[in-house]
Structure 1
């Protein structure tokens, strides 16, 4: 009787194992390729090959893969963060903003103020003000030289104007006689004897 019961179980196990055995025997060759931007996908090298192409944005071409960007592994922790962790180990009591120790709450306000100043230092508006200050300094760096050259040009024009004005005020001298030549509209001052 045990044989009769075991025979159908053996046949059922063989039927279930047949598809699993077929899956274990690999027949298809699969190649996975990552393509960036508008690059062309490569052609399969074998007609039986299955080519899987993943298209990524052009900006990710030289970036660390997303799966590797964030890691909680202590070996990947920056030294600055390690130092911060060591500093936090002994922070308790007065001015610590913790529940441990007498007066632990007193440091919470200072911690908020420090965080606000850190945000202000790293904020985008600070960068804009730094850019504006740099542009203003660049513009003002040449203003003294430009003003000096403009001043010397104006002084030269004033000297020429003053010479001409003095010459006009002096007028013709008594020994100069105004004479006109044919074709001239205005009299020419010619000193006598010429």
Structure 2
């Protein structure tokens, strides 16, 4: 009997589990990021999708990417950097980024900044976020042009409609004026 109650309780609690909202299941704007080489053409993006192409030199087509060409193996480290590493051994105190000594943690921020700049310097020159923004701006510029053309067509149709309404009103007025003198 206790088993039956426990199983029924487990089933009831699983039935009341929160379900994800439907809006969370809908994907956003689809962005296709490609690297093309030389004079290759960037493929046309289908409707509802942005295709962003980063162009690289033809000589890079079959090469290992720059970020993977170098190794962090200690055997590949230069003597200069090895000597600089020995200079910091025993470094403690303010701006040293060590757990020992007063103010040793203050140097960690500078070390983090230096590491970030080094990574940025070594990164590839492809910035997909800028390319995506350019593609969005290009898409919006075509939307604005299409909207302007549609607005011009609507205004032309409205002018034609107003002119036709005036002609019909004038014709009706002329007919009523022509019919009025004959009645007297």
Is the TM value for this pair above 0.5?
no
Q: Calculate the TM-score normalised by the size of structure 2.
A: 0.36
Q: Calculate the TM-score normalised by the size of structure 1.
A: 0.34
Higher helix share: 2
Structure with the bigger RCO (C-alpha within 8 Å, sep 6+) is 2
